[in-house]
Amino acid sequence: MSNPANRTNGAATATISPQATDALRAQLRGALCRPGEPGYDQARTIWNAMIDRCPELIVRAAGAADVIATVRYAGAQGIPLAVRGGGHNIAGNAVCDGGVMLDLSGMKSVRIDPAARTARVEPGATLGDFDREAQAFGLATPLGINSTTGVAGLTLGGGFGWLSRRFGLTIDNLLSVDVVTAKGELIQANEKRNQDLFWAVRGGGGNFGVVTSFEYRLHPVGPEVLAGLIVHPFANAKELFDGYRKIVAKAPEELTCWVVMRKAPPLPFLPPEVHGKEIFVLAMCYAGDIEQGKKAVAPLQALGKPIADVVGPSPFAGWQQAFDPLLTPGARNYWKSHDFIELNDAAFQLMVDAVASAPTPDCEIFIGHMGGATNRVRAEDTAYPHRNVEFIMNVHTRWSDAAQDRVCIAWARDLFDKVAPHATGGVYVNFMPEDETQRVRSGAYGPNYERLAKLKAKYDPANLFRFNQNIGPAA
Ligand SMILES: Cc1cc2nc3c(=O)[nH]c(=O)nc-3n(C[C@H](O)[C@H](O)[C@H](O)COP(=O)(O)OP(=O)(O)OC[C@H]3O[C@@H](n4cnc5c(N)ncnc54)[C@H](O)[C@@H]3O)c2cc1C
């Protein structure tokens, strides 16, 4: 079994001449750094500590002009180019060994137009940056569940979280993008201009260019929502899941409820004797009127005999950060994910069995709750095709000692393989680790792959943007 930590993402170790580097540096408003220079290690360090790669140079872009200069430079010199947004992607494609890394994490501005209910967001903004600005006006768009995730990569893969069953995926709320293409030209794409590119970036990842600005539709949300956790003893997981499944099948679209199974972290509302023991958690958010929400969550609260029920009114921006302490950067991580239309007893039992053998206390299996508005878009209307999915399982393996790499990765792969016969075969591209390139065509894109490959040939025939879940240009 190969170990992803020992592999690179295939960048050639091109040697860049000092003259060419100086010429690029002179064009930039942002910084250029080489190994050993200030900012270099900070820029190449990303969320997943499994990824330790050393680009030959890093451009820390300050704006679209820096992006254009860097893309033209890499294209002209034939040098591999990796693009970093928030640096959260599990596969680690934001960084390359050798080549150029284009670090967008300094481009963080978020401008809200409260009258038009739209947001203009730069690609270095995190979900927390976006929520902070939008919530100042009681507005939000569907994003993910961990506030330090980058808006850019999340959006380009699809994007889902607590608001998605009500308002759709992040891409269903995307109005336009500014994209620097492989030719180094900045073009806009929306429903009227460059529609084919706009279709491709809604799920096609960073394959088609570097997005320097995203425009989103916003919705009134909060400032308080009904949200929180119900924590149960693990022994009752099967009956609880049965009840959960029946309740969410009829739940209003405002209600989203995920299942998390893991060893209990030392949360202050859990009795000390539960810490470190397996637990079954319902994590929920009602994106609507709080009194209506109380009625919607009551059946979930009536299930079993919980150890703790901490569901209540909560600031939306605070709930968006609720999982941050469990998802801090710097740990080693490996994920495996499946999509489901129905989650049957056999698949759930396999997950229950796996929780008991989780190799570290930080490993977890979560079941994300989809459906609702995410499934009211046709599979062919955006590059993201999984418009019939009701649940997403993510086996989230997390540890700190490199000596445990093999056992942790094996645990995730074993469960993934066992559950596969019960799943759709589809996968959310943003949950794929770097060793799943064989799943890109049929798993991530399925019916949309051929069209994506043709658009790749149109917009990036030389595959300059290849550090991603790569779509090869059609011949
Ligand atoms: C702890 C954690 C929780 C998560 N929770 C959720 C969740 O709730 N919902 C969800 O949908 N996803 C979730 N994700 C997955 C997340 O959507 C992806 O990891 C996403 O790729 C992160 O985006 P980023 O900008 O931070 O990543 P990066 O690693 O910077 O980039 C990811 C990919 O996108 C490309 N890219 C980044 N910016 C640009 C750009 N401006 N132009 C072109 N290409 C670009 C990169 O080259 C790279 O290939 C989670 C991830 C983590 C680690």
Amino acid at 67: V
* Paired tokens of 130: 């976006």
Give distance in angstroms: CA of 115 to centre of ligand 1.
29
Nearest to 448 by CA among 375, 392, 379, 390: 379
**For ligand 1, mutation pick of 83, 122, 471 (most atoms within 8 Å of CB):** 83
| pLDDT recorded at residue 15 | 64
Q: Would you say the CB of residue 86 lies under 6 angstroms from ligand 1?
A: yes
Write the residue with the smallest CA distance to atom 49 of ligand 1.
Answer: 468
Write the residue with the smallest CA distance to atom 28 of ligand 1.
Answer: 87
* Paired tokens of 111: 């401008």
| pLDDT recorded at residue 4 | 32
CA–CA separation, 303 and 43 (whole Å): 46
Write the pLDDT tens digit of every residue in 313-353.
Answer: 999 999 999 999 999 999 999 999 999 999 999 999 999 99
Going from the C-alpha of 338 to that of each of 5, 335, 358, 437, the distances in angstroms are 23, 10, 18, 15
Write the residue with the smallest CA distance to atom 13 of ligand 1.
Answer: 144
| pLDDT recorded at residue 18 | 81
Place of tokens 């050798």: 98
Q: Would you say the CB of residue 160 lies under 6 angstroms from ligand 1?
A: yes
| pLDDT recorded at residue 181 | 98
Non-local CB neighbours of 441 within 8 Å, separated by 6+ positions:
449
CB 132 within 8 A of CB 343: no
Give distance in angstroms: CA of 275 to centre of ligand 1.
31
| pLDDT recorded at residue 14 | 52
Give distance in angstroms: CA of 165 to centre of ligand 1.
20
Write the pLDDT tens digit of every residue in 5-51.
Answer: 333 454 444 567 788 889 999 999 999 999 999 999 999 999 999 99
CB 330 within 8 A of CB 341: no
Q: At 131, is the pLDDT very low, low, confident or very high (cuts 50, 70, 90)? A: very high
| pLDDT recorded at residue 17 | 74
Q: Would you say the CB of residue 145 lies under 6 angstroms from ligand 1?
A: yes
Give distance in angstroms: CA of 401 to centre of ligand 1.
24
Question: What is the value of pTM for the model shown?
Answer: 0.96
Write the pLDDT tens digit of every residue in 73-119.
Answer: 999 988 989 999 999 999 999 999 999 999 999 999 999 999 999 99
CB 163 within 8 A of CB 141: yes
Give percent of the chain with pLDDT exceeding 70. 97
- Helix, strand, or coil here: 110? strand
Atom of ligand 1 nearest to the CA of 206: 44
Sign of the C-alpha dihedral, residues 416, 417, 419, 422? Answer: positive
CA–CA separation, 275 and 378 (whole Å): 44
CA–CA separation, 144 and 309 (whole Å): 23
| pLDDT recorded at residue 20 | 82
3-state secondary structure 17-45: CHHHHHHHHHHCCCEEECCCCCCHHHHHC
CA–CA separation, 78 and 3 (whole Å): 29
Mean pLDDT of the chain: 95
CA–CA separation, 168 and 202 (whole Å): 12
| pLDDT recorded at residue 417 | 98
Give distance in angstroms: CA of 206 to centre of ligand 1.
10
Query: Average pLDDT, stretch 216-224?
Result: 97
Non-local CB neighbours of 23 within 8 Å, separated by 6+ positions:
none
Write the residue with the smallest CA distance to atom 34 of ligand 1.
Answer: 153
